[in-house]
Amino acid sequence: MEASLSFHRHHPAASSSSTAAHHAARLTPPPPRDPRAAARWVTPAAAAARSRSPANLGLPPHPPRRLRLAPPRVTAAVTGGPRRPRRRAPPPVECAGGSSSSLRRPREEEEEEEERSSTAHAGVSLVGQADRQKLLKQKGCVVWITGLSGSGKSTLACTLDRELHTRGKLSYVLDGDNLRHGLNKDLGFKAEDRAENIRRVGEVAKLFADAGLVCIASFISPYRRDRESCRALLSDGSFIEVFLNMPLELCESRDPKGLYKLARAGKIKGFTGIDDPYEPPLNSEIEIKEVDGVCPSPSDMAGQVVTYLEEKGFLHD
C-alpha cells in the first residue's frame, strides 16, 4: 500500500492516466446481451479511431502525380531545315482535242495512265479502233443527215442502212424516234433542249464510229453550231454531213406527220421552217437537191452516199 502510494506520489502522470481510464471504463456502456448486436457493437474509442483521417495518424501525404508531356514539335524554324510545302489539288485543265467543253484534271489522266501501264505490265493489250476496223473490214464514221422536216431524211437513212447491209457492212441508224423515247425523253423542243439533244446524239454517234460502225444520224439539227460541235468530236474526216436541200414548199406538201398543218394553225410553237429558223450547212460533204424540179429517188440518194464512202475508203479494210 505504501509502495503504491509512493509510486503515484512520484509519478503523477501515471496516476492521472489510470484515473482517466478508470472513469472511461465506468462511463463506457456494457455490450448488449443480444449476440448479433454484440457483434456489431463498437467501443467509443474504436469509433473515434476510425473517424480519424490518415492525415491525423501521422502518415505522409500521397505524392503528386507526374504528368507525361508530349515531346515538342520540331519545326523548320528550330531545325533550320526546309519546310515541306502543303500539297494542293491541281486545278482542272482543258484537254487538247475532243470536245472543247470537256474538262479533265491531271489526276484523272494519271490514273488512266497508271491503268494502261498496269494492263501493259500484265501482258494484256487493249483492243483499239484499228483492231475493230480490221475485224469488220471497214472504217467507222458518222453520216449526219440534216434537213427540214419532210425532206426525206428518215427515208434516206433507212435506204442507206439497207444498201450497206447488202454489201456486208455494219451500220446503225440514230433518229429522233429511237432516241426521243429513250435517251432523250427528258428533253423538250426549246432551243436549249434541242441543243442538248444534238449534243447527246453526237456523243453516242462518236462511240458507234469508234466501234467501227457506219453510224447514220438522221436529225433536223437546225442550228449550225450544234452540228459543228458534233463534227469536232471526230477526226480524220470521219464526220460526213449530208444536206438534203429541199424547198420548204415540197416538204410542206409532203407533211407525213401533219406537223406543218399544226404549226400553221398555231398549235405547235417553235417549229423549224415556220416560226423557228433553219441554218443550212456552209460546207457539207454531200448536198442532195432537186434536179430540174424533180427530187431524186431514195436509191439514187443512197447511191451518192455509198459512192462517197467508197471513195474515202470507209468501206474497205
Q: Assign residue 231 the CATH number of its domain.
A: 3.40.50.300
Check residue 1 and give its pLDDT.
47
Contact 246, 220 (CB under 8 A): no
Task: Give 225's contacts (C-beta < 8 A, 6+ positions apart).
Answer: none
Q: How far is CA 172 from CA 79, 143, 248, 268, in A?
A: 69, 10, 28, 31
Domain count, the chain: 1
On the 0-12 / 13-18 / 19+ scale of CB atoms within 10 A, 202 is buried
Phi/psi of residue 72, nearest 5 degrees: -65, 145
The partner residues of 217 in beta bridges, in order of sequence, read 144, 174
In a domain, 193, yes or no: yes
Q: Give the pLDDT of residue 96.
A: 42
Amino acid present at 253? S
Please pick, among 149, 171, 221, 238, the residue that the annotation labels catalytic. Answer: 221
Per the CB < 8 A criterion, the answer to whether 222 and 276 are in contact is yes
Per-residue pLDDT, 74: 52
Its pTM stands at: 0.62
Q: Please give the pLDDT value at position 45.
A: 64
Name the DSSP letter for residue 312: T
The reply to whether 204 falls in a domain is yes
Return averaged pLDDT per consecutive 10 residues of the chain, 317 residues in all. 47 51 55 61 61 52 59 52 59 46 57 61 80 93 96 96 96 88 86 91 96 96 94 92 96 90 90 91 95 92 97 89
Q: How many residues does the chain have?
A: 317
Residue 109 is assigned to a structural domain of this protein = no
Q: Collapse the DSSP code of 279 into the 3-class scheme (helix H, G, I; strand E, B; otherwise coil) and give the result.
A: coil
Q: Is 102 a catalytic residue?
A: no
Task: Please give the pLDDT value at position 314.
Answer: 95
Q: Which one-letter amino acid corresponds to residue 173?
A: V
Structural domain including 306 reads 129-312
Q: Is 262 inside a domain boundary?
A: yes
pLDDT at residue 101 in the model: 43
Whole-number pLDDT of residue 179: 87
In the three-class reduction of DSSP (H, G, I as helix; E, B as strand; rest coil), residue 31 is classed as coil
Separation CA 197–CA 218 (nearest Å): 12
Cβ 307 vs Cβ 242: under 8 Å: no
What is the bridge-based pairing of β-strands 171-175 and 214-218? parallel
Residue 133 lies in a domain: yes
Q: How far apart are CA 51 and CA 57, in angstroms?
A: 11
Angle among Cα 233, 229, 222 to the nearest 5 degrees reads 135
- From 204, 239, 198, select the one nearest 221 (Cα to Cα): 198
Q: Which amino acid is at 237?
A: G
Instruction: Provide φ and ψ at 107, rounded to 5°.
Output: -65, -40
Q: Which three three-digit cell numbers place residue 251?
A: 416538204
Does 281 map to a domain? yes
Look-up: residue for cell 476510425? 50
Look at residues 174, 169, 140, 168 and name the one whose alpha carbon lies nearest to residue 154: 174
Q: Is 222 part of a structural domain of the chain?
A: yes
In a domain, 214, yes or no: yes
By the 8 A CB rule, do 171 and 215 touch?
yes
